[in-house]
Structure 1
Amino acid sequence: MEETPQHCLSRLPHNSALKQQELPAHQLYFTTTRVLSVFFTTGIFCLCMGIILIVSARSTQEIEVNYTRTCANCAELRETASNFDKECTCSIPFYLSEKMMGNVYMCYKLHGFYQNLYRYIRSRSNRQLAGKDVKAVEDCTPFKTSNNKTPIVPCGAIANSKFNDTIILSYNINSSGQIKVPMLKSGLTWWTDKYIKFQNPSFKNLADDFRGTTKPPDWPNPIYELDKKDPRNNGFLSEDFIVWMRAAAFPTFKKCMIDSNTPFYRRLVCW
């Protein structure tokens, strides 16, 4: 009988149950009754959830006001990039056919804006947005620094293209007077965005925290002047800014800029 060479024996697996594939095994056998029971139970559950979601969506009142063509003078002004800092006002009257009960949400709607472009999504600094280093602009091409090499805050293409239309609602009592409708700017963001991903360097003086930096090229105001009335909603913690920084998956999307405490109940969309 010929002996096995020593170099071949060294490559043999150890004589254990695991390596010799001798572990006990158990194979599940499902009867037809069990399979059909699981199938129909899952189907009934999904059907009920779908009915609930459809009924909930139909109960939402929504009004869309397209001001792109109505405010043609403003649209023509914005076609030139150098006019980004010039103000343009436009007033559009609209009538509510039904009374809106509950909380009302003001959202903006954009068409043909591809926020899911890979280079666009990558153009941001998470370290900067978390308040760890406001001058960290390594990943923000092409909006990293200004012409004089000053770090841009917030840097990146997403922040530079932020939607900056200001929408104000007024209620006409009669032909002689109007009442400004008070709207909140809170309750818009995900909890993880508000308390983990976005943080200001400190809560003392934002102007000092961002000293030595400059605003994005297409912004009218610096990051620490987004909400002068509420310091808690300013800087990187501005909820309108946080909502914009979460990129949409499709080219047509809506994002709420002003709402109340209970989300997704009533919406007034302007676009």
Structure 2
Amino acid sequence: MELKKSTAIKLSLAVYIALTLVFLIVGIIEISRTKHGIKTNTKRYLINYTDCKNNLDDEQTCAQYLNKNINGDCKCDINFKLNEDYKGNVTLYYELDRYKETFGPLFNSSDSSQWSGMLVIPPSDMCQPYQYANTSEGLKPIVPCGALADAMFNDTFRLFNTKMQIQMDEIDLICDAERDKYKNPVNIDAVNNFTKPVNWQKSIWDIGQENSTGFLSDKFIIWMDTNVHPKPVAKVRKIADFENGLPKDDYHFKIFYSNITNGLPFLRRKTNENEPKENPPEEAKPLDRERTNRNI
């Protein structure tokens, strides 16, 4: 099949506009009822790690490294101190500066029928120019397709105090109502007809924890919900010394920095040159729908 270089939506879909700042927020939100009504207690510790130093080269930030190595990743460490106990359910959030301004043009570049377990060929035209990608098996449709999914934030974090690594979970970050419209396809074999997004390192079926994998992954659902920001990414597991939250102590995050977030105004990620001139098969082919609470 003849391919062409996509020129659609140059500054938003084919180009990842770099963000100025990226933050981690260690936060607690406690909601309680009193005789005077609902009381909300919020405690936040904000960490800016945009210019976090590359562990392999302290003369270079991870953002600088990724500017030169578009498909690479970088590890860095950020130290911080809690001067008081953070009692309660401690959740880690990430916040992207100028989020709506930067990602707004991408919000409609997706195919919500895929999220509901309906994998059809061809994918929605709304996904252009991220409908198809070349693979070792030839041209395949992308799942999840579209520029919004392709740009999904993918930094990961490990938290330590002076004694140990602190266990964190990436599940139960959203309520059941937020998960209702997301389903995995019943037929596992159906996913073999598709490939991962162009800028992802692994497929949708390889993200998530326990029973929340694929389209049921909290990480994916939270990213695709453009009304949520800052976005929760993990919560501290309530075990042992952390049953009641995070006690005051010295901490550090080990950050696996794979998102391009430096201050350059138009920093290109890998663009998709694999869009066909004509969509393959005109007839949509629905594949089996719905599998919930099952690892893929």
Tell me the TM-score range normalised by the shorter chain. Answer: 0.5 to 0.7
In the other structure, the counterpart of 1:224 is: 205
2:40 matched to 1:64?
A: no
The aligned amino acid for 1:97 is N
Matches within 5 A, 1:42-191: 56=40, 59-71=41-53, 73-80=61-68, 83-84=70-71, 86-114=72-100, 119-133=105-119, 135=121, 137-138=123-124, 139-147=126-134, 148-173=138-163, 179-191=164-176
Report the alpha carbon displacement of residue 134 of structure 1 after superposing the two structures with TM. Answer: 5.2
Q: Distance in 1 between matches of 2:82 and 2:121?
A: 47
Question: Aligned to 1:193, which of 178, 184, 192?
Answer: 178
Distance 1:63 1:79 in 2: 28
Aligned match of 2:258: none
* 1:34-49 to 2 correspondences below 5 Å: none
Equivalent AA in structure 2 for residue 259 of structure 1: K
* Deviation of the 1:87 alpha carbon: 2.5
Tell me how many residue pairs correspond in the alignment: 202
Letter in 2 for 1:235: G
Question: When the two structures are superposed, what TM-score results if normalisation uses the length of structure 1?
Answer: 0.64
- The structure-2 alpha-carbon separation of the partners of 1:109 and 1:118, relative to structure 1 and needing over 3 Å to count, comes to closer
Q: 1:215 aligns with which of 182, 186, 196?
A: 196
CA RMSD of aligned residues (A): 3.3
Asked whether the 8 Å contact 1:146–1:152 carries over to 2, the reply is yes
* Aligned-partner Cα distance in 2 for 1:61–1:118: 29
Residue of structure 2 equivalent to 1:234 = 213
Matched residues in 2 for 1:73 and 1:117: separation? 24
| TM-aligned CA distance change 1:100 to 1:66, over 3 Å | same
1:104–1:259 CA contact under 8 A, matched in 2: yes
3-state secondary structure, aligned to 2:107: helix
Distance 2:102 2:226 in 1: 6
Instruction: Tell me the SS of whatever aligns to 1:60.
Output: strand
Per-residue CA distance 1:146-194 (angstroms, 9 max, x = gap)? 1453101110111001000001111212xxxxx1111122222243331
C-alpha contact (below 8 Å) 1:128/1:134 kept by paired residues: yes
**Using a 3 Å threshold, how does the CA distance of structure 1 residues 115 and 182 change in structure 2: closer, same or farther?**
farther
Q: Give me the whole-angstrom Cα distance separating, in 1, the residues matched to 2:121 and 2:93.
A: 32
- Give the Cα–Cα distance (whole angstroms) in 2 for the partners of residues 115 and 135 of structure 1: 32
Give the equivalent residue in structure 2 for 1:245: 224
Cα shift at 1:223: 0.7
Q: TM-score, normalised by structure 2?
A: 0.59
Structure with greater strand percent: 2
Larger Rg belongs to: 1
Which consecutive residues of structure 1, in runs of 5 or more, have no partner in the other structure?
1-48, 174-178
Change (3 A) 1:100 1:166: same
Question: For the residues of structure 2 that align with 1:69 and 1:156, how far apart are their CA atoms?
Answer: 29
Tell me by how many angstroms 1:115 deviates: 6.4
Compare relative contact order (CA 8 Å, sep 6+) and give the higher one, 1 or 2: 2
Q: Secondary structure at the match of 2:219?
A: helix
